[in-house]
Amino acid sequence: MKIYNSWAMAVHPLVFETGVDETPHSIAGTGFLIGYSGRVFFVTARHALKPDAIYPLCILSPSGYVLPLKDVYFVPITASDEDFADLAIVEIDMQRVDMEHYETRVISLESVTGDWQKNAQSSSFFVLGFPKQYSWVDYEIGEVQMGFVELTGSYQGIGKTECLHELKVEKPSMLDDFSGFSGGPVFCRQLAADGGQLVLLCGVAVQGTIESRIIYFIETSIIQVMLKLKCARDPLIESKILNKKPD
């Protein structure tokens, strides 16, 4: 079994309710569940949520159970550099979760946090996501088809800003583009002190092109800042309700 499989159940596609009877759902982007300060959050890319015209979001467990959500927090683009701001933090309403149907994994942020940049050049990297090419809604049978894909690559260095980094993907020949990977987690494998392998969360994929084979990702430290601000309910963070409580 590959190492990334241990994290796979924490990674989910973004499924939206469109409000259109003929096409009630759509898929666009990826996100993953993080445990922080005794709470559970879904981390994704801000632009994937389209915050200016946001639709109700569904996060599905492998059994099809829809996780109850509280709200989403993001840094307004006007408050910071656009690259820094391209993150969204959605809180899961754990008090309303039906644990019998939960069937998903939450990544403890503390367990995957470390100095991944120290040995980045000698580490192997991978990004997990649900590319649009392999993920869609089959309206004939009423099911969401979720095509989970791992892309491996190598670290190329810091991008346009200090918090934005470049990952060069190895042979993405099965894909026409990287659409759908936005919001997906980027990990690296490093040699641990005991001789085993250490997996660290490096950041969140936010953009990239198949022609260059480059995926840009925002580093984990920015996720930590976002979570601290969210938990402190900092006034710079906007929030919107994503789904309503069941009747």
pTM of the predicted protein model: 0.86
Question: Does residue 245 belong to any structural domain of this protein?
Answer: no
Question: Does residue 75 belong to any structural domain of this protein?
Answer: yes
Q: Would you say 42 and 57 are in contact if contact means Cβ atoms under 8 Å apart?
A: no
C-alpha span between 42 and 88 (Å, rounded): 8
pLDDT at 241: 43
Cα-to-chain-centroid distance, residue 170:
21
Question: Does residue 246 belong to any structural domain of this protein?
Answer: no
Question: Does residue 74 belong to any structural domain of this protein?
Answer: yes
Question: Does residue 182 belong to any structural domain of this protein?
Answer: yes
Question: Does residue 247 belong to any structural domain of this protein?
Answer: no
Tell me the pLDDT of the chain (247 aa) as tens digits. 233 456 788 999 988 887 777 777 788 899 999 999 889 999 999 988 876 666 678 887 766 778 888 888 876 666 555 666 789 999 988 888 877 766 778 899 998 998 999 899 989 999 999 999 988 888 777 777 888 999 999 999 998 888 899 999 997 768 999 999 999 999 999 877 777 788 999 999 999 999 999 999 999 999 998 898 888 865 444 554 444 333 3
Q: Total structural domains in the chain?
A: 1
Question: Does residue 48 belong to any structural domain of this protein?
Answer: yes
Instruction: State the residue range of the domain holding 197.
Output: 5-240
pLDDT at 22: 75
Q: Would you say 74 and 42 are in contact if contact means Cβ atoms under 8 Å apart?
A: no
pLDDT at 229: 82
pLDDT at 167: 96
Q: At 158, which CATH number?
A: 2.40.10
pLDDT at 56: 72
pLDDT at 220: 94
C-alpha span between 190 and 200 (Å, rounded): 8
C-alpha span between 31 and 67 (Å, rounded): 13
Question: Does residue 192 belong to any structural domain of this protein?
Answer: yes
DSSP 136-192: EEETTTTEEE---EEEEEEEEEE-SSTTEEEEEES--TT-S--TT-TT-EEEEEEE-
What does the block give as tokens for 101? 């149907």
